[in-house]
Each structure stands twice: as C-alpha cells, then as structure tokens.
Amino acid sequence: MSPVITIILLVLFGILLLLLEVLVIPGTTIAGIGGFLLLGASVWIAFDNFGSTVGIIVLIAVVAILIVAFIIALRSKTWRKLALKENIESTIEHFDEYVPKTGDTGIALSRLAPMGKVQINGYEFEARSRNSYIDESSEIEVIAVESNKVIVKLK
C-alpha cells in the first residue's frame, strides 16, 4: 500500500477513535490512546517518507481536520437529529398512592442483588436487600423505607 493511502487511512481512523472517545466512551480508554497513536503514526510516516516539509503540512492538516471534526460533532444541531424528543412520563414508584410500612410482606419480582423489583400489596417498588441476595419469587418483608427506596429482607 502506498504511503499516501496509509497516511489518509491512519488519519481517518485516528480521528474516528478520538471522536468515539470524547462522545461515546467515558474516561480515558484504548480508543483515545489508539486515536492519538494513529494520528502520530500518520505524521511520522509523512516525515519519514516525504521529508520535513510534507511532514509539517500533514501535521497541520491533522490538527485542522481534528478541530473541524470536533466542532461539527459538538454542535447542537448535530445532536438534535439523534436526541430523544419525547418525555418519558411513566414510573413504577407508587409512593404517592401507597407507602409500604415496616412489616409489610410481598414477593421479589426480580433478583435483589442487592437492588431489584418487589411487589408489596399489589404495587411495584424498587427495593434493596439489606444483608444478602434474594432470589426472584421469594417472599420478602419490609424492614425500612428510606426516601424512595424500600429496604427488605428474606421472610
């Protein structure tokens, strides 16, 4: 493969990885490090194969393309096309209708490890197991209610 095609591919993949790092993958990851390594390799190949003049031109072009790519990616109009435009109104918490009391019993709708869903008196709640894991379909007992979390134990 010719050095020109190699340089172009390295720049494209490097910028793609850096955009993924900033926009999709949180924290410093292999994508960001890989993106910088690919961009650095493209500049190094330009210096090595074509000399300092072309190497500096490629370096400036890489920086300019990177800036333009980030400006386009971070514009709000770009994200409006991908954004959710509906409000999610549904909830499963029923504290406005019914507040469980200490001693109430129910059943685990999902495994509590330590968080999960429980049903108490016909209402579904997000619950937390105090000490151990509780398997699905196990009988539970409410031992406390803290703000919007129900604390349960195995009955």
- The domain spans of the chain are 3-80, 105-154
Q: pLDDT value at position 114? A: 85
Do residues 101 and 120 make contact, with C-beta atoms less than 8 angstroms apart? no
CATH architecture for the domain at 105-154: Beta Barrel (2.40)
In this structure, are residues 118 and 92 in contact, taking their beta carbons and an 8 Å threshold?
A: no
Q: What is the pLDDT of residues 93-143, one digit of tens each?
A: 556 677 888 999 999 999 998 899 999 988 888 899 987 889 999 999 999
The CA-based dihedral angle spanning residues 51, 15, 64, 52, taken in that order and rounded to the nearest 10 degrees: -10
Q: What is the pLDDT of residues 31-87, one digit of tens each?
A: 999 999 999 999 999 999 999 999 999 999 999 999 999 888 887 676 676 666 777
Q: Higher model confidence: residue 6 or residue 93? A: 6
Query: CB under 8 Å to 43, separation ≥6 — which residues?
Result: 55, 58, 59, 62
Strands (E), the chain: 105-108, 115-120, 123-129, 139-146, 149-154
